């Protein structure tokens, strides 16, 4: 039996290096460069290559993948400790080769892709030379595959895809799309959906419009509304087997959810640090904001919530490492998913309020952080759905009462306890 809250010294040194590296060389890029996913921008490519070389030297490149794919095979717990640092910066995940959605797409290509698919799509993705898009959600259905209407029908040695997809992250930069479509409408969502790799230049694949989040304009939005009209792809472009999309998606999304949570710890701590600096710096009539009980309560609540959330994330990461099966940890991942959005929202909102008018302005990052928190409440399935998943997982471990009163009914338990005590006393008397 072992309980350990320490990091081995060698990896602790790498984390310390990553902390300083992200703060000094990566976080400044968030303020002056565009999207790290735009591989057509020569400045972006040049900067990424320079910084990625340093990350590779420290054996911290693509830590979510095993050595056979150029990663480190550190496992989810070590990845969580690193992602806490990367979560402070928009650019950091791309610099370390663990950016979503590319990381999840790389994982399913590695697990389910053919050698030809890996050569054409996976390896360039792992090297950071291209960007990808996971094309699942639809405008009328959200993330519920039972309501998807995008279809793929077989036509000789090709598949023909028709439908619309909504909120497609990185569509404007993607070299290829992994599209979920119904190939057997009679088999239901769990067995009738399949995945297809669709190159960005495929005729019939159209970006209807780009979509921003919050007050972000469409011209800057990194999500998109897609239409697929008579899109032809080779049968060799199916990812995995026919009807396997749902199972593959759960593998991908399980990892994605826990990785988002890991990075959210970094964002929440960043907001917390800003709150604390404000508390000790801003003076009011009676002293500093930090000397006011209301401020102290907000700081205490925020610290507790972040640390509780972090322990839940690390425990879930440990369970994934232990079982190597996302399905066995499904309830834990759902719990992390639900807690993630609430902790991020509450901590960021307290920090924003403590800053007054400048907190809501575009001279502070809190508005963007608030939108990010709400995005986390919806991405990879809304929190309401994950509460249901968690509750169902928990209730599987309980059996219904078979008697008129529940098993914890005090008079019933007292009567049973008296019978137990009488038996003990009879045994003691018999001994003497």
Q: How does pLDDT run across 207-266, given as a tens digit for each residue?
A: 999 998 888 877 788 899 999 999 999 999 999 999 999 889 877 776 778 889 999 999
Predicted confidence (pLDDT) at residue 428 exceeds the cutoff of 80: no
Percent of the chain exceeding pLDDT 90 equals 76
Task: Tell me the pLDDT of the chain averaged across its residues.
Answer: 92
CA angle 366, 94, 107 (to 5 degrees): 115
Whether 140 and 270 map to the same domain: the answer is: no
Q: Once rounded to an integer, what is the mean pLDDT over residues 385-403?
A: 94
CA angle 34, 52, 60 (to 5 degrees): 125
Given 113, 146, 175, which residue is the final one in a domain?
Answer: 113
Is residue 341 a contact partner of residue 265, using CB atoms and an 8 Å limit?
no
Q: Write out pLDDT tens, residues 144-173.
A: 888 999 999 999 999 999 999 999 999 999
CA–CA dist 218, 155 (Å, integer): 36
Q: Between 365 and 1, whose confidence is greater?
A: 365
Tell whether 125 is covered by a domain.
no
Contact (Cβ atoms closer than 8 angstroms) between residue 228 and residue 164: yes
Residue 102 lies in a domain: yes
Compute the distance between CA of residue 428 and CA of residue 41 in angstroms, rounded to an integer. 86
Task: Flag whether 178 is in a domain.
Answer: yes
Using 50, 70 and 90 to split pLDDT, how confident is the model at 1? low
pLDDT digits (tens, 9 = 90+) for 73-104: 888 999 999 999 999 999 999 999 989 889 88
User: Would 329 be classed as within a structural domain?
Assistant: yes
- Distance, in Å, from the CA atom of 52 to the CA atom of 94, rounded to the nearest integer, reads 9
Residue 111: band (very low, low, confident or very high) from pLDDT cuts 50, 70, 90: confident
Asked if residue 86 and residue 41 are part of one domain, the reply reads: yes
Least confident window among 94-98, 268-272, 303-307, 423-427: 423-427
Give yes or no: residues 184 and 213 share one domain: yes
Distance CA 100, CA 367 (A): 22
234 and 276 part of one domain: no
Of 79, 113, 147, the one marking the end of a domain is 113
Q: Answer whether residue 251 is part of any domain.
A: yes
In a domain, 41, yes or no: yes
Query: Structure pTM?
Result: 0.89
Q: What is the pLDDT of residue 84?
A: 95
Q: Are residues 286 and 220 in the same domain?
A: no
8 Å CB contact between 353 and 381: no
Same domain flag for 369 and 272: yes
Q: Taking 90 as the threshold, does the pLDDT of residue 2 lie above it?
A: no
Q: What is the DSSP string of 297-340?
A: HHHHHHHHHHHHHHHHHHHHHHHHHHH--GGGGHHHHHHHHHHH
Matching residue, tokens 């619309």:
164
pLDDT of residue 155: 95
Residue 56 maps to which CATH number?
A: 1.10.540.10
Is position 126 within any domain? no
Higher pLDDT, 39 or 304: 304
Label residue 318 by pLDDT band (50, 70, 90): very high
Tokens of 151: 């279809």
Say whether both 24 and 87 belong to one domain: yes
Judge if 356 and 272 occupy the same domain. yes
Peptide bond into 101 cis (omega under 30): yes
Q: Are residues 235 and 253 in the same domain?
A: no
CATH number of the domain to which 169 belongs: 2.40.110.10
Residues spanned by the domain of 214: 132-239
1 within some domain:
no
- By C-alpha distance, which of 55, 54, 68, 60 is closest to 12? 60
- Number of domain units in the chain: 4
- Residue 359 CB contacts under 8 Å (≥ 6 apart), including other chains: 351, 352, 353, 366
């Amino acid at each position: 039996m072992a309980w350990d809250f320490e990091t081995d010294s060698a990896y602790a040194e790498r984390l310390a290096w990553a902390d300083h590296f992200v703060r000094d060389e990566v976080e400044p890029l968030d303020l002056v460069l565009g999207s790290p996913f735009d591989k057509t921008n020569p400045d972006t490519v040049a900067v990424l290559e320079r910084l990625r070389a340093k990350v590779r030297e420290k054996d911290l490149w693509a830590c979510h993948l095993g050595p056979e794919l150029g990663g480190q095979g550190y496992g989810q717990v070590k990845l969580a400790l690193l992602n806490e640092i990367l979560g402070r910066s928009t650019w950091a995940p791309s610099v370390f080769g663990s950016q979503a959605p590319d990381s999840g797409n790389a994982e399913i290509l590695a697990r389910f892709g053919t050698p030809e698919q890996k050569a054409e799509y996976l390896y360039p993705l792992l090297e950071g030379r291209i960007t990808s898009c996971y094309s699942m959600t639809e405008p009328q259905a959200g993330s519920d595959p039972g309501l998807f209407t995008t279809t793929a029908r077989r036509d000789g040695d090709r598949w023909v895809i028709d439908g619309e997809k909504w909120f497609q992250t990185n569509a404007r930069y993607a070299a290829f799309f992994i599209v979920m479509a119904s190939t057997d409408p009679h088999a239901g969502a769990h067995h009738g959906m399949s995945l297809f790799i669709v190159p960005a230049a495929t005729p019939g694949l159209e970006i209807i419009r780009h979509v921003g989040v919050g007050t972000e304009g469409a011209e800057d939005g990194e999500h998109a509304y897609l239409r697929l009209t008579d899109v032809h792809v080779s049968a060799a472009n199916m990812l995995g087997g026919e009807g396997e999309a749902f199972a593959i998606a759960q593998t991908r999304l399980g990892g994605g959810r826990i990785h988002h949570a890991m990075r959210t710890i970094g964002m929440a701590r960043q907001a917390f640090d800003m709150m604390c600096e404000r508390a000790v710096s801003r003076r009011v009539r009676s002293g500093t904001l930090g000397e006011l009980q209301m401020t102290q309560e907000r700081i205490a609540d925020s610290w507790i919530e972040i640390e509780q959330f972090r322990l839940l994330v690390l425990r879930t990461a440990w369970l994934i490492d232990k079982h190597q099966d996302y399905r066995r940890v499904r309830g834990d991942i759902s719990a992390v998913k639900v807690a993630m959005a609430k902790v991020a929202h509450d901590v960021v909102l307290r920090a924003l309020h403590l800053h007054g008018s400048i907190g809501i302005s575009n001279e502070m990052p809190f508005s963007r952080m608030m939108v990010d928190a709400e995005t986390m409440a919806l991405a990879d399935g809304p929190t309401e759905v994950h509460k249901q998943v968690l509750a169902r997982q928990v209730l599987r471990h309980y059996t219904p009462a078979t008697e008129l009163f529940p098993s914890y009914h005090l008079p019933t338990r007292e009567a049973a306890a008296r019978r137990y005590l009488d038996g003990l006393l009879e045994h003691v008397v018999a001994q003497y």
